[in-house]
Amino acid sequence: MPERISPTRMELRATRWQIGLAIQGRDLLKEKRNVLMKEFMKVAEDVMGRSDELERSAASARRALALAEALEGEEAVRSASFAARGEATIDMEGSDVMGVRVARVERKSLSRSLLERGYSLLGTSAKIDEVARRFEDELNLVVEVAASEARLRRLAEEIQRTSRRVNALENITLPRLEARRDYIEMVLEEREREDLFRLKRVKKRLREREQERA
């Protein structure tokens, strides 16, 4: 159904107030989107840098594994891996970016000491210890990259949501309100012209009557 508009001065004031409110909301959303974009670019740069670091760490860990298997034998390396024990504990915390809650992983090393790894120190060599250390370094980076990627997705979703709201205000809400304002102003101006024309006619008739009486 077409919108029913009451072309009154009260309605005109209300419409102008709504336009001002919509403009203010649009500007605030644009500011929010700009801040989110800056944070997005910063996190994206961090993700790319850590992804490269992760690739290097993974390659280093696999080279250490291949060297240990060549020098100590696959069976010794496999036995140490089966004997290794431990669990990775990840602490998550929330942070706020322009009212958007995003997860952040608390930086905490997952590396273990020689005694914490669980395998026998007498039955293994430094090469196997090096393999364990390299893979623990890789695990640290995996957790950090995964957390940054999750943060990146959350920011991207909020940027898209904010952009949709900005577009709705600019392309739907504001044009509709401005069209309503223009229509009311046109009707009121037309009424003023009609009232002025009638007033002139009345004055003219009054002058004519006064002239006839004279």
Return the amino acid letter for 45. Answer: E
Tens-digit pLDDT profile for residues 1-16: 346 788 899 999 999 9
Calculate the CA 66 to chain-centre distance.
43
SS3 99: coil
What DSSP state is assigned to residue 93? E
The mean pLDDT value for 124-144 works out to 75
The tokens describing 109, both together, are 């090393």
Tens-digit pLDDT profile for residues 49-97: 888 888 888 888 788 778 777 766 666 665 555 445 555 565 556 666 6
- Spatial neighbors of 33 by CB under 8 A, at least 6 apart, are 159, 162, 163, 166
Would you place residue 179 in the very low, low, confident or very high pLDDT band (cuts 50, 70, 90)?
very high
Per-residue burial over 154-167, b if 16 or more Cβ lie within 10 Å, else e, is: bbeebbeebeebbe
Angle between helices 74-83 and 9-72 (to 10 degrees): 130
Q: Report in angstroms the alpha-carbon separations of 185 from 33, 108, 173, 178, 189.
A: 34, 64, 18, 10, 6
Q: Which residue matches tokens 């101006």? A: 189
Q: What share of the chain is helix, strand, coil (3-state, %, to 5)?
A: 75, 5, 15
User: What domains can you pick out in the chain, each with its CATH number?
Assistant: 9-213 (1.10.287.3240)
Spatial separation of the C-alpha atoms in residues 196 and 190, rounded to whole Å: 10
Residue 169 phi/psi, 5-degree rounding, is -65, -45
pLDDT for 69: 72
Q: What percent of the chain has pLDDT over 70?
A: 71
